[in-house]
């Protein structure tokens, strides 16, 4: 299910433009987090979705906001939150530099050294491998979460019998 985004990220990383790997990785992460949040939220119409995600300055317009709200809703773990911010920070470093950078540039290497999870440091030896390994792992985990039924439901749906009983009691009390 997640093979296409992973191939896209990996393909960009082996192409001439290394910046593409970081930018595409963050774009894939951003899209998956939006899908997860929409799966968690109550059903929203297109205007509500646009107001939350798409308009400049919308509450969930930035990747950082999506990461933090996904964590606050319990959709992602703290480890996933930290990994997502790591991807975002590497993307930002690449995207906001005029000079050509690589995963071994001191500014990028410092982020990768400080923020790569210890488990990834054991498995991957180069900065490029650590970055790509992190994005592959988080994308796989997020797609797995997306497969779960995580939508927030109204009280009427979750406690139908209790809700109905209260309404009936209120109606009886009103007719007395």
What pLDDT does 174 receive? 75
Q: What is the pLDDT of the chain when averaged over all its residues?
A: 84
DSSP 8-state secondary structure symbol assigned to residue 76: S
Predicted local distance difference test score (pLDDT) of residue 1 = 42
Q: Rounded distance, CA 85 to CA 79, Å?
A: 10
The CATH architecture of the domain made up of 3-175 is Up-down Bundle (1.20)
The answer to whether 52 and 44 have CB atoms below 8 angstroms apart is: yes
22-47 pLDDT, tens digit per residue, is: 888 999 999 999 999 999 998 899 99
- pLDDT one-digit tens code per residue, 72-106: 999 999 999 999 999 999 999 988 877 878 899 99
Q: Model-level pTM?
A: 0.77
The answer to whether 18 and 103 are in contact (CB under 8 A) is yes
Question: Contact, 44 vs 24, CB < 8 A?
Answer: no
């Amino acid at each position: 299910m997640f093979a296409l985004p992973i191939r896209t990220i990996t393909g960009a990383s082996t192409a001439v433009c290394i910046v593409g790997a970081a930018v595409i990785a963050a774009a894939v992460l951003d899209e998956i987090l939006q899908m997860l949040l929409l799966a968690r939220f109550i059903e929203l119409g297109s205007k509500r979705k646009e107001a939350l995600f798409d308009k400049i300055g919308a509450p969930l317009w930035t990747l950082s906001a999506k990461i933090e709200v996904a964590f606050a809703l319990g959709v992602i773990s703290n480890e996933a939150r930290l990994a997502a911010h790591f991807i975002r920070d590497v993307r930002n470093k690449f995207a906001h530099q005029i000079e050509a950078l690589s995963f071994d540039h001191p500014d990028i290497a410092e982020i990768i050294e400080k923020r790569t999870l210890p488990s990834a440091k054991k498995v991957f030896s180069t900065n490029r491998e650590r970055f790509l390994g992190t994005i592959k792992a988080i994308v796989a985990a997020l797609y797995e979460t997306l497969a779960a039924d995580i939508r927030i439901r109204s009280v009427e749906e979750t406690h139908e019998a209790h809700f109905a009983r209260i309404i009936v009691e209120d109606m009886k009390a009103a007719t007395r």
